[in-house]
Amino acid sequence: MSDRSARRGRDARRTAREKSGAVSKLFITRNVPLLELASLEALEMVEANADLILEEIGIEFRDDEEALALLKGAGADVKGTRVHFPKGLCKSLLATAPAEYTQHARNPARSVQIGGNHTVFAPVYGPPFVRDLDNGRRYGTIEDFRNFVKLAYVAPAMHHSGGTVCEPVDLPVNKRHFDMLYAHMKYSDKPFMGSVTHPMRAQDSVNMCEILFGKEFVDQNAVMTSLINANSPMVFDGTMLGALKVYARANQACIVSPFILAGAMSPVTALGTLAQVQAEVLAGGALTQLVRPGAPLIYGAFVSAISMQSGAPTFGTPEPTLVISAAASLARRLNLPFRSGGSLCASKVADAQAAYESANTLNATVLSGVNFALHAAGWLEGGLSSGYEKFVMDCDQLAMMQRLSEGYDLSDNGQALDAIREVGPGSHYLGCAHTQANFETAFIRSNLADNNSYEQWEAEGAQDMPMRANTLWKQWLNDYEAPPIDPGIDEALNAYMDERKASFPDSNV
Amino acid sequence: MSDRSARRGRDARRTAREKSGAVSKLFITRNVPLLELASLEALEMVEANADLILEEIGIEFRDDEEALALLKGAGADVKGTRVHFPKGLCKSLLATAPAEYTQHARNPARSVQIGGNHTVFAPVYGPPFVRDLDNGRRYGTIEDFRNFVKLAYVAPAMHHSGGTVCEPVDLPVNKRHFDMLYAHMKYSDKPFMGSVTHPMRAQDSVNMCEILFGKEFVDQNAVMTSLINANSPMVFDGTMLGALKVYARANQACIVSPFILAGAMSPVTALGTLAQVQAEVLAGGALTQLVRPGAPLIYGAFVSAISMQSGAPTFGTPEPTLVISAAASLARRLNLPFRSGGSLCASKVADAQAAYESANTLNATVLSGVNFALHAAGWLEGGLSSGYEKFVMDCDQLAMMQRLSEGYDLSDNGQALDAIREVGPGSHYLGCAHTQANFETAFIRSNLADNNSYEQWEAEGAQDMPMRANTLWKQWLNDYEAPPIDPGIDEALNAYMDERKASFPDSNV
């Protein structure tokens, strides 16, 4: 194939992609009401219990004298590393956090709005393993990492490039953040997350963003949304506090997020879990505002449960759904954006278990009005594995949720009375004018569902969904074209990384 | 094995089943708010448009002079088979239909409440094929039919025995209703549905129920809930009208249910589909109340869409979810129980497509407050196939939904403050008193999800969910014990069937 015909092919594909709305759906703006499962009585009960936890039991802030000093200065009662908060203190400190914010992408057309009635989908975060049908399960590499960045870039309903889409285990632990961050910057122009595994790595993330966006722009605008996990129950450790301070000081968004497997890190009941989550977020969130009032903050809650029989994590069950929905309400009552949910599952493979569990979680996520949905695609095996097939299968579902959130068309065309008059009793709508006029947009079209006849499906090899997904992700990677990046910026990013990498030895801690 | 040890084994299993709550969860009574996606403006728009359809366009009532006469007598404008309804007529006729009713089971402990804030799950209805992992896809037989009745009987979260759980294609079309009905009566003691494929078969269903429940009881109580499909758009045919009249006259419940694949039987838009559904249900429902005021009536809406590319039915997509949620609101505004949803999918096999689509539909079903959820388990391939593995997989999800509907525990135990105090920061809840006290009931336990470590899962054969489901349905059939039935009634049922079967020749129409 000549260069020219290859380019023509690419152009045609790009046109097709743009026509399919790839760039037009930047994030979800819901046009349907929220699912709020918890009553006002339940929410007020949780808030009172969280106040009690903060005041009576207190929260541990470990290995961070600066954090303790800031909290003490604000009126908290600090005894060693235990911080007790007088009633109402945290909430009043949180008043400076914005109810919603724009996270800027290097391509301004890709910037996302986080909070309010918006939902932003971001890929799976954190798995050390990857899985695909051809090679099974194996440790992730930087090549896998780049592949997932590319898939998230191509996926029309994926709004965000995410963070650790898989661990690039082939790179040294103390330097892989450079290559991960660079992959998001270079191979995508969607917004992304910064490193949190060490305060210095958070600072590297800020520094690289200053190269990409400009120093002043970064100081005045959120260009990263990063994940600060609490060590539940009721502990923040020095690593996370250090990263939190770096990001808050740089005016970058922190998700303060208890990581909860109920029964292990929280009580086995929904209300007990919620009170603890609320207390942890209030405490950690307050610190962001002490570091820099107005720094963007997301109320986070990663919530699932464990099997009481084996202790193993479970996903997609009803108890986390109850927690997600109520926590979303609690975050709204604090005027904070909310992070939770995703497409979570315990299944090792992209089978029916994975899909039931993921769909249950995703329905709860979207209907409850989660604003930032991490792990929205690719999550397998309780987060131990990033699945290639699972990634594109989940993306198909994200598109469904985007459509659902658009709600009802109340226009004359939506009411379709003319169609009903035209067709009348006993006929059909297959060829009527209204159907023809709405042909392209009437129903969302799945990339992966097989709706053909049994006979046709069998003739085409009786493929199940993962087999079709295997074809699709390869096609997406094949069709992928890198978004242009300013060569000077690219060079500066590489120079920064080279210099920093050379300045300290490799290490795997 | 001796008879005695076999009995001991059965007793132990029965005890285990009863302990697991098999008989205690008869139906869902929701303790969480409804998901109502449509605004009041949208609902009122649909209601006005439905009135317009009823008045201007009218509904066809074909091959049923009696129905036309009844409607004319009530004030409708009848021209040939076309019936136009003055504004408000249908709604005023529906005022006599009960907002909820008890459908009695022959075991009173299994009776279900249909309407209000209750949800009743019933199995898949209608497929000519069955599928299991061992034998693939084949025509259903009466043995398959009995197997699905037995599985529905054993499944703790299945509340209803259903109707045509699969077509017993090995029996003549004009006589198979006897054997189907008898299977529900004999092999289960959960409530069931009557035959609707011919008015005479509906009458046989009533007659057999009179043997089972007593003539007077049947006249005063609902013992069947049967499915009357409209021939959308805007037609009721003689067969369905005949069955409707038999059931309404006998004070038995009718689900008046447009069968909609939007784009074929209704407009491609949600509001257009809803207006037509509302008009069809109002018209057909009104007839039930003219036949016998007070006869139980369910507002039905089977809703999905078609692929605009191929015309094939699609399932689990967002557009039907919008219709289900709004139609549930419309039914509530008419004070009628509502039927829709289920665990619908287009997939040929019990793979991830089946699970995503089924879970999307089931979440919409339960969260929207559907009162009677037909097709809640076993549906494959757009309703062409009843799947053995799919059946038990769906049942596992039904149990999840039952738990979700229970909502939050606001008691002291639910709030778990003592647990949070006991554990404190930096510890874990695995062995604490509260966790131990709630060990049995804290989290629902899936029958089929694998939450074990990757290594253990691999060591156990790396089974996907359908493989585990294959083991489970066989175990359920193996453990099945028929509920006792009065031998005199059993004999009378058989005598009735024998006499009726001998009274006319076999036929396959």
Residue among B56, B445, B464 minimizing CB distance to A349: B464
Does A38 contact B at CB distance below 8 Å?
Answer: yes
Rounded Cα distance, B127 and B140, in Å: 8
Query: How many inter-chain contacts (A to B, CB under 8 Å) are there?
Result: 402
Say whether pLDDT at B223 is over 50. yes
Q: In Å, how far is A78's CA from the nearest CA of chain B?
A: 15
Nearest CA in chain A to B408: A270
Interface contact B427-A317, CB threshold 8 A: no
Burial of B399 (0-12, 13-18, 19+ CB in 10 A): buried
Rounded Cα distance, A19 and A270, in Å: 44
**A435 CB contacts (<8 Å, ≥6 apart)?**
A419, A429, A442, B263, B267, B268
Q: Which of these, B339, B239, B337, lies nearest to B296 by C-alpha position?
A: B337
In this prediction, residue B349 has a pLDDT band, given cuts at 50, 70 and 90, of: very high
- Is B419:A272 a contact under the CB 8 Å cutoff? yes
CATH number of the domain at B18-407+444-509, out of 3.40.640.10, 3.40.50.2300, 3.40.50.300, 3.20.20.480?
Answer: 3.20.20.480
In this prediction, residue B22 has a pLDDT band, given cuts at 50, 70 and 90, of: very low
Interface contact A424-B306, CB threshold 8 A: no
**Helix A487-502 vs helix A176-187: angle between axes, to the nearest 10 degrees?**
170
Does A442 contact B at CB distance below 8 Å?
Answer: yes
Rounded Cα distance, A225 and A298, in Å: 9
Mean pLDDT of chain B: 95
Q: Residue holding tokens 């898989």? A: A166
Q: Which chain B residues are closer than 8 Å to A463 by Cβ? A: none
- Is B191:B112 a contact under the CB 8 Å cutoff? yes
pLDDT in tens, B29-52: 999 999 999 999 999 999 999 999
> Of residues B24 and A417, which shows the higher confidence score?
A417
pLDDT in tens, A306-360: 999 899 999 999 999 999 999 999 999 999 999 999 999 999 999 999 999 999 9
Q: Which of these, B196, B180, B198, lies nearest to B188 by C-alpha position?
A: B180
Residue among A316, A360, A407 minimizing CB distance to B322: A407
Q: Which chain B residues are closer than 8 Å to A376 by Cβ? A: none
Decide: helix, strand or coil at residue A196: coil
Q: How is A85-100 classified by DSSP, letter by letter?
A: --TTHHHHHGGGS-SE
What number is the ipTM of this complex? 0.95
Q: Which chain B residues are closer than 8 Å to A234 by Cβ? A: 424-426
Q: Which of these, A79, A78, A77, A84, lies nearest to A55 by C-alpha position?
A: A84
Q: Which of these, B381, B276, B376, B268, lies nearest to B319 by C-alpha position?
A: B268
Whole-angstrom Cα Rg for chain A: 24
CA atoms within 13 A on the CB side of A344: 27
CA angle A338, A340, A341 (to 5 degrees): 145
Interface contact B420-A38, CB threshold 8 A: no
Nearest CA in chain A to B446: A317
CATH class of the structural domain A25-407+444-509: alpha beta
pLDDT in tens, B451-502: 999 999 999 999 999 999 999 999 999 999 999 999 999 999 999 999 999 9
**Among residues 262-301 of chain A, which lie with CB inside 8 Å of chain B?**
262-273, 275-276
Say whether pLDDT at B12 is over 90. no
Interface contact A448-B307, CB threshold 8 A: no
Does A133 contact B at CB distance below 8 Å?
Answer: no
Residue among B267, B306, B355 minimizing CB distance to A359: B355
Interface contact A353-B404, CB threshold 8 A: no
Residue among B35, B444, B445 minimizing CB distance to A35: B35
Rounded Cα distance, A434 and A428, in Å: 12
Decide: helix, strand or coil at residue A38: coil
Residue among A267, A270, A451 minimizing CB distance to B307: A451
pLDDT in tens, B408-462: 999 999 999 999 999 999 999 998 999 999 999 999 999 999 999 999 999 999 9
User: In the structure encoding, which two tokens stand for residue B372, read together?
Assistant: 């009677």
Residues found in chain B: 509
User: In the structure encoding, which two tokens stand for residue A4, read together?
Assistant: 């020219």
In this prediction, residue A509 has a pLDDT band, given cuts at 50, 70 and 90, of: confident
Q: Where are the beta strands (DSSP E) in B18-164?
A: 28-29, 59-61, 77-79, 82-84, 100-103, 112-115, 118-121, 129-132, 136-139
Percentage of chain B surpassing pLDDT 90?
93
Largest CA distance in chain A: 79
Give the pLDDT score at A1: 38
Residue among B233, B271, B321 minimizing CB distance to A410: B271
Mutate: best of A56, A57, A429, partner B, most B CBs <10 A: A429
**Helix B487-502 vs helix B199-213: angle between axes, to the nearest 10 degrees?**
160
Q: Summarize chain B as % helix, strand, coil (round to 5).
A: 50, 15, 40
Decide: helix, strand or coil at residue A102: strand
Does A482 contact B at CB distance below 8 Å?
Answer: no
